[in-house]
């Protein structure tokens, strides 16, 4: 699969937000509506006050016209974020599990649906903390980069995006250097292996943007 310049150079935040808008989110509709047939599938019917799941873009659209309340995802609740922060701050802790687009979703919800979040200011603060902690960890993790692989589980899209340009080039460079250094059979195996993991990386964040 071809890699676009975007994938090597990274996305802008609005682009990522655009992608994140396809994520599902729970809303409580405020208006009664029939189901809506969308290309991706049908949503609804909307029967207040029963919760229903819609793509984020639709939720925001409805929210802006005051046709729904957005139910904050569990991970975006104050207590949950506080716990996450605590776990994240522990030394040697791995990255905690968060949705791929957690920063984007949180940003959009805080922008458009702040009144639906309890303690939104606290959430903002916690998110900022969380982001900083994870950022420093990512940087720390980049030190472990070798020519074979780099494993950082539960890294979110925005975070991957941040290191993408640097990582891509460095990785290529490392591989080249490695290839020059060793021309043995083992090296061959290794480069295969590296290819493979590269392809995996592609799958992880590349495949969904096939146009």
Establish whether the linkage from the previous residue to 45 is cis, with ω within 30° of 0: yes
Residue 50 interacts with another protein (CB under 8 A)? yes
Select the residue interacting with another protein from 2, 180, 183, 210 (CB under 8 A).
210
| Residue number with CB closer to another protein (21 or 52) | 52
The C-alpha R_g of the chain, in whole angstroms, comes to 21
How would you classify residue 151: left for phi > 0, otherwise alpha for psi between -120 and 50, otherwise beta? beta
* Least distance from another protein to the Cβ atom of residue 91, Å: 30
| Residue number with CB closer to another protein (54 or 158) | 54
x/- track of binding to another protein for residues 6-35 (CB under 8 A) = ----------------x-----x-xxxx-x
x/- track of binding to another protein for residues 55-94 (CB under 8 A) = -----------xx-x-x-----------------------
Select the residue interacting with another protein from 42, 111, 188, 196 (CB under 8 A).
42
Residue 114 interacts with another protein (CB under 8 A)? no
Count of residues near another protein by CB under 8 A = 26
| 22-to-25, 28, 114 alpha-carbon distances in Å | 9, 18, 20
Residue 53 interacts with another protein (CB under 8 A)? yes
| Residue number with CB closer to another protein (44 or 168) | 44
Helix (H) or strand (E) holding 168: helix 157-181
Residue 97 interacts with another protein (CB under 8 A)? no
E-state strands within the chain: 24-29, 36-38, 41-43, 52-55, 68-70
- As a whole number of angstroms, the distance between CA 83 and CA 153 comes to 19
| DSSP H helical ranges for 72-146 | 78-89, 102-112, 120-142
- As a whole number of angstroms, the distance between CA 197 and CA 200 comes to 5
Binding residues vs another protein (CB under 8 A): 22, 28, 30-33, 35, 40-45, 48-53, 66-67, 69, 71, 207-208, 210
């Amino acid at each position: 699969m071809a890699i676009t310049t975007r994938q090597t150079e990274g996305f802008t935040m609005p682009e990522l937000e655009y992608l994140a808008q396809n994520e599902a989110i729970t809303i409580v509709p405020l208006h009664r509506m029939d189901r809506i047939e969308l290309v991706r599938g049908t949503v609804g019917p909307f029967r207040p006050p029963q919760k229903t799941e819609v793509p984020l873009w639709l939720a925001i659209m409805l929210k802006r016209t005051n046709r729904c309340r957005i139910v904050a995802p569990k991970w975006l609740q104050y207590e949950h974020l506080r716990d996450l922060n605590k776990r994240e701050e522990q030394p040697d802790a791995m990255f905690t599990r968060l949705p791929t687009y957690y920063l984007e979703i949180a940003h959009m919800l805080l922008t458009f649906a702040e009144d639906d979040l309890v303690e939104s200011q606290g959430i903002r603060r916690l998110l900022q903390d969380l982001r900083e902690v994870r950022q420093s960890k990512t940087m720390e993790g980049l030190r472990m980069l070798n020519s074979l692989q780099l494993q950082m589980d539960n890294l979110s899209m925005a975070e991957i995006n941040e290191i993408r340009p640097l990582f891509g080039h460095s990785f290529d460079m490392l591989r080249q250097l490695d290839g020059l250094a060793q021309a043995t059979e083992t090296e061959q195996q290794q480069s295969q292996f590296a290819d493979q993991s590269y392809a995996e990386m592609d799958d992880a964040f590349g495949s969904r943007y096939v146009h």
